[in-house]
Structure 1
Amino acid sequence: EGWNSNLIVGLSSLGAIFMFAFIGWELKTPQPLVNLRVFSVSRYAAAAMVALIFGAGIYGSSYLVPLFVQVVQGYTPTLAGEVLIPGGLILGLVFPIAGRLTDRFPAYYMVGTGLFVFGLSNMLMYDANVDTGFWRMALFVLLGRVGLGVMMPALNAGALSVLPPAMLAQGTGTINFVRQLGGAFGVSLLAATTEVRFGFHADTLAATQTAGNGTTLELIGRVAGLDSSWGVPVTQTSAGALNYLGQMVAAQAQSLAYGDGFALVAIVFWVGILPALWMRPKN
């Protein structure tokens, strides 16, 4: 439909109206589904902002990494899932250690460290391409899961410790809701980003494939010669070579688009260090 189509703009506007209506209703009803008054505690609001980023990161990366290794690197769905296995295992090992460390270090310190490490893992994946090996990708994912494991216990503890006892139940549910909401936003945002950036990179790369590009002419000549040696009619060799060139441009554009998605996740997580610092006690 396109981003400027009436359908997309209309549905987006309708969603915004329902969101503001939901907020208004939750603020005035005596028994709200989500008690928005917990956000009046500034340190809890900062933790909720980090939880939103956390959800976007863990769900977004679980979407983006398997898609990247299948589309760009040609992995099977099974092999794509296996890339995530080491990260899942290390996450289970890091949780209890991070819980102990949370008792010794301030929550904002642990959260900030986790945000930085996860952002670093995604920035490392920015340069990943078709030649990046299985274990290298698995190591990048593993590093990111270490960051998530470090920050999650501290995030929950830091968020709930600043609430009065009467708000603890609502605060627990709200922080989990915000995390899930971040996951929905993260997957949608990354899907849209990679689509838009693919179009941008495809147009940019296609514009360089001109008659004045010696590398392009050499490639077309070699592919046409190879087709001819296989018995392809001369009238079809040029079309075959151009088709191959188009496939190469599209593959490179896909790789660059996914790289932009990884970079976006890294930047968002590093920016998330700012609200993590707001979790510091005022004294």
Structure 2
Amino acid sequence: MSDTTANGNPAAIAGQAEYPAGRWLIAAVVGLAAFMEVLDISIANVSLSHIAGSLSASQDEATWILTAYLVSNAIVLPISGWLSQVMGRKRFFITSIVAFSIASLACGMAPSLAWLVVFRIIQGAAGGGLQPVSQAVLADSFPPRERGMAFSIYGVAVVFAPAIGPTLGGWITDNVSWHWIFLLNVPVGIVLTILAWLLVHDTAAYEKARKAKMAAGFTVDYIGLALLTLGLGCLQIMLDKGQDDDWFSSTFITTMAVTSGLSLLALVLWEPFQRHPIMDLSLFRYRNFSIANIMMFMLGFVLFGSTLLIPQFVQQVLGYTATLAGLVISPGGFVIVVMMPIVGMLSGRVDARWMVGIGLSLVSISMFHMTGFDLDSSYTQLVLARCLQTLGLAFIFIPVTSIAYVGVPPDKTDQVSAMVNLTRNIGGSVGISLVTTWLARRGQYHHEVLASSVTPYDHQTQALLHQLTQHFMAAGAAFNEARHQAQATIANLVAEQSQLMSFIDDYWILGIVIACLVPLSLLMSSGKEEH
């Protein structure tokens, strides 16, 4: 048994006496709670135009529906461990579900965009506690040898949700109403509240340690809370609005960046000297925890970045409808559903370093494969590439999640869960922001290069112009009209090719970044310390 297990954890010392008999049902409940929360990050993306039209707002104004949720969610995520200790994990978990459900009801009934943004802030804040608390409940409800399988249920929730979100949101909006992408949470939340009240319980060891800490004079780190709120809030706004406002050419974005940087730096300097810090940054002295956070950041980076990139590619370059674009993404989500339990069973039997290395390699190969896409790529090719990518993600999530707890004291479970989930979400925000920026910048570059070669002095251009002019004249157009149509066709070809090349550049960048992480997986623990 590991030093961590023996380090004063009564549950571990007593064998399995502390582990609840209905722990697999608990895993399903907390997994569904996490699924509900993560789903709301992406489910509204495809409905923004409908929401904007319904509430008499512009498309740019409607994007605050997404930003508001992400900002409040990012702020609450890292302090959820602290809130669990103050309120008790079960009480905080149920409170989060109830508040999330009420906020969802308010979002679905919002009379204006302003009210919808306010309710999304509340919804994001309430949901911020669901992911880390769900993960912490799993870590404490299962013995180490079963954690891999338990985390597979959680993994299905947090990885499958963003994959299925746009498809589900589009279907609900097209066939029912955008209001129901929020109202759907209400009956689910009621059921989850009842089940969580009946099934989820704080362990005796956890409750004893929590009460002892409160009795010793628990103090609130108000300065740390203010710095964290300001730093993460400004960071999320900068990432979400940066490309729209042309990044640092905008005074607003520059102000957000400077404020975020200074606040987070002050937080790092302030927290180590606090008796009860909002974020326990001392956890980063554990090698596995630090590497797990890096891996989780990149998992979010690739998962959310590619989930945004692929639908845009098939819609903008290949002309797919929104529904068909969703059907390109969805099969990858089902691969996750199938593979997560398999990887969960392999966890503990196979060296975690090899599993993560294989996963990273598969993701990198899938991104390099996508660089071969062209205007003739078939639906089957697209789906297989996405499935290969999600196959790799399945091999990364569970081992990395399990490794994050190795060597960390048992009373730090809540903090570990909070920070691992925070880094994954920030990685997702950075991924979406960067791939969007790279796409726009590389598109401009390729357009300039291609357009510069399309001149009256280029023989190939003139030959194509003449050929197209003759084609349109044969279709019945006069010479001048045929000439204009031919020039417009060439301009469209330039725009089409430059857009295709910009997507290929994004795939290259993502593939190279992931490939560089493969050696890092060898620095992790083998995972055997848990057993």
State the TM-score, normalized to the length of structure 2: 0.51
Shift of 1:34: 2.7
- Give the structure 2 partner of residue 9 of structure 1: 254
Q: Is the 8 A contact 1:201 1:256 kept in 2?
A: yes
Q: Return 207-216 or 64-73, whichever deviates more.
A: 207-216
Deviation of 1:212 (Å): 4.0
Please point out which of 254, 258, 275 is paired with 1:30.
Answer: 275
For 1:140 and 1:16, locate their aligned partners in 2 and report how far apart those are by CA, in whole Å: 37
Q: Which residue is equivalent to 1:216?
A: 461
- Checking the alignment, whether the CA contact within 8 Å between 1:122 and 1:265 is kept in structure 2 is yes
Corresponding residue of 1:267: 512
For 2:476 and 2:263, how far apart are their aligned partners in 1? 63
Q: What CA distance in whole angstroms lies between the structure 1 residues aligned with 2:426 and 2:341?
A: 26
1:248 aligns with 2:483: no
Per the TM alignment, residue 271 of structure 1 is displaced from its structure 2 partner at its CA by: 1.1
Taking the aligned partners of 1:206 and 1:164, their CA distance within structure 2 comes to: 60
Distance in structure 1 (CA, Å) of the matches to 2:272 and 2:497: 49
Give the conservation status (yes or no) of the 8 Å contact 2:403–2:525. Answer: no
3-state secondary structure, aligned to 2:435: helix
Q: Deviations over 1:156-211 (max 9, x none)?
A: 11111131223222112111111111101111010011111101111111122133
Q: What is the rounded CA distance, in whole Å, between the counterparts of 1:87 and 1:46 in structure 2?
A: 26
The correspondence for 1:124, drawn from 358, 363, 369, is 369
Taking only aligned residues, the RMSD between alpha carbons, in angstroms, comes to 2.0
Amino acid aligned to 1:211: P
Match of 2:436 in 1: 191
Equivalent in 265, 276, 288 of residue 43 of structure 1: 288
Report the alpha carbon displacement of residue 102 of structure 1 after superposing the two structures with TM. 1.5
Pairing of 1:83-122 with structure 2 (within 5 A): 83-122=328-367
Q: Tell me the residue number matched to 2:9.
A: none
Q: What residue number does 1:181 align with?
A: 426
Deviation at 1:20, TM superposition (A): 1.9
Q: Report if the CA contact (8 A) 2:446-2:498 is conserved.
A: yes
Shift of 1:6: 4.2
Unmatched segments (≥5 aa) in structure 1: none
**Aligned equivalents of 1:153, 1:15: Cα separation in 2:** 31
* Bigger shift: residues 36-45 or 163-172: 163-172
Q: Distance in 2 between matches of 1:251 and 1:25?
A: 51
> In the aligned structure 2, how far is the partner of 1:172 from the partner of 1:202?
45
2:452 maps to 1:203: no
Question: Cα deviations across residues 57-99 of structure 1 (Å, max 9, x unaligned)?
Answer: 1111111111111011100000000011211111111111111
Q: What corresponds to 1:57 in structure 2? A: 302
The letter of the residue matching 1:172 is: S
The 1-side partners of 2:508 and 2:490 are apart by 27
Structure-1 separation of matches of 2:485 and 2:247 = 34
8 Å Cα contact 2:356/2:396 also seen in 1:
yes
Q: Is the Cα contact below 8 Å between 1:55 and 1:186 reproduced in 2?
A: yes
Distance 1:67 1:26 in 2: 41
Contact 1:47 1:276 in 2 (8 A): no
Q: Which amino acid aligns with 1:129?
A: D
What is the identity, as a one-letter code, of the residue corresponding to 1:56? Answer: F
> What is the aligned partner in structure 1 of residue 382 from structure 2?
137
Query: Whose radius of gyration is greater, 1 or 2?
Result: 2
Q: Once the 2 structures are TM-superposed, how far is the Cα of residue 234 of structure 1 from its aligned partner? A: 2.5
Tell whether the 8 Å contact from 1:116 to 1:147 is kept in structure 2 after alignment. yes
Alignment partners' CA distance in 1, 2:306 and 2:453: 32
Residue 29 of structure 1, CA deviation: 3.7
Post-superposition Cα deviations, 1:18-42, rounded to whole Å, max 9, x if no partner, equal 3323433444443333322111112
- Partner SS for 1:160: coil
- Are 1:69 and 2:318 counterparts? no
Structure 1 residue 3 displacement after superposition? 4.2
Give aligned pairs, total.
283
Q: Give the match's secondary structure for 2:404.
A: helix
Q: Which residue of 2 aligns with 1:152?
A: 397
Larger relative contact order (CA 8 Å, sep ≥ 6): 1
C-alpha displacement of 1:111: 0.9
